[in-house]
Amino acid sequence: MNLLEKGRISGYQFFALLIITRLVPVILICPTVTLVNNPATAWLNDIIGSLLAVPLVWLIVNLGHKYPDHTIIGYTKKLLGPIGGILAGSFILWYFFMIAVSVLRTLGETVVTGLLVETPILVPLVSAAFLIANSARSGLEINSRIAGIMMPLIVFLLFFVVASTYNLWDPGYLRPFFFAHGLGELIWPSASVLSFYTEFLIIGMLLPYLNNPRSALPLSIGTILMINLILIMQCFGMAAVFGPLLNSATFPAFALARMVSLGDFFERIESLIAVVWILGAGMKACLFLWATAVGLAQILDLKDYRPLVYPLGALMVAVSVLSYESLIALINFQTGAMIVFTITFLILLLFILYIVLVIKKSFGDETSNAGQG
């Protein structure tokens, strides 16, 4: 099974893709905040979820190092056999595809709710899906370069929005540091944070194309640390402004951007900020659509993934419309069933792959000389 993508990416581009992947839920809908009982303690959930993500990322990267010329789909088939590998690979591809679908629907809801309120949602969905599919066909290398440009801008705007609303902060909202229902109230929001880190399973698709694969683990851990810093900053900023109303806001980061005002001449810039954030969401959807197409082509033993991109893009629009009745339904799915699926099936799958790898290695199966896949 040959690698279908000939491009290569640098460590910085790898880092940028992971940053954008994890930041998109934060900059658009912040679904985890709907689970938080006390906004003053929301930052603790981010720390707990980020710490739990470290061993998960270590497992993904370590598996990839054992099969350096394989994507996760390739070495899953090699470890679990043709039937088991196809079944497990299909679930992984379904996961990648549903992430792209969720991002597309969130992107459409953001446009029609925050910018073009009288526009039918199909208009931004179809337009965005076409652009995303077109970009995915261009290959990983081109899109990773764009991500390298977009990532610093997205991070800067997040810091800028929080810092620019300092005059609206009420430190009193950060004082009630207690747990009315015990420490158990940290479990579900922390699980939600961790569930979004399981999207780093995409590392299994990116690792074979990284110029220096050995840098993947420090770069991934560095991504988690940087994301954790941004999440904590966002939590403090939004909690200090919205207080107990934080978990009732549909687009808390966007609502915070609406309040940016520097003097009497620099205000109402949320549309500009939203455009940059939406472009970041498009980059994430493109990445996961690309991963779905490449993985599906590998399962089907095709020589080229590009003919699959446009059909998958069209299917992405249909599924995004049929799967979610509204934005609320999407948030409920991401903070309910999706948490259970990601933390049980995907983490269980990774452990099974690692156990099979250890067993095969103990019987003398040389994984280091594995062929390309």
- With bands split at pLDDT 50, 70 and 90, how would you rate the model's confidence at 226? very high
What's the rounded Cα separation, in Å, for the pair 238 and 159? 12
Tens of pLDDT along 232-244? 888 888 888 888 7
- Which region among 69-83, 176-190, 307-321 has the lowest average model confidence (pLDDT)? 176-190
* Arithmetic mean of pLDDT, 172-184: 72
Residues 6+ apart with CB under 8 A from 180: 37, 38
Between 258 and 147, whose confidence is greater?
147
Average pLDDT over residues 99-117: 85
- Residue 369 in this model has a pLDDT that exceeds 50: no
Q: SS3 for 3-32, per residue?
A: CCCCCCECHHHHHHHHHHHHHHHHHHCCHH
Cβ distance 210 to 3 under 8 Å? no
DSSP single-letter state for residue 324: -
Give 302: exposed, middle or buried? Use CB within 10 Å, 0-12, 13-18, 19+.
Answer: middle
Residues 219-245 as b or e (16 or more Cβ within 10 Å = b): bbeebbebbbebbbbbbbbbbbbbeee
- pLDDT at position 202 is 94
Amino acid identity for residue 128 in this structure: A
3-state secondary structure of 178: coil
Q: Render pLDDT for 254-294 as a digit per residue (tens, 0 to 9).
A: 778 778 776 666 666 667 777 788 888 899 999 999 999 99
The pLDDT of 69-97, averaged and rounded, is 90
Tell which CATH classification among 3.40.50.1980, 3.40.720.10, 3.40.50.11060, 1.20.1740.10 matches the domain 11-354: 1.20.1740.10
With residue 154 as reference, give the H or E element that holds it. Answer: helix 140-164
The predicted-structure confidence for 19-41, as pLDDT tens digits, reads as follows 999 988 877 777 777 677 777 77
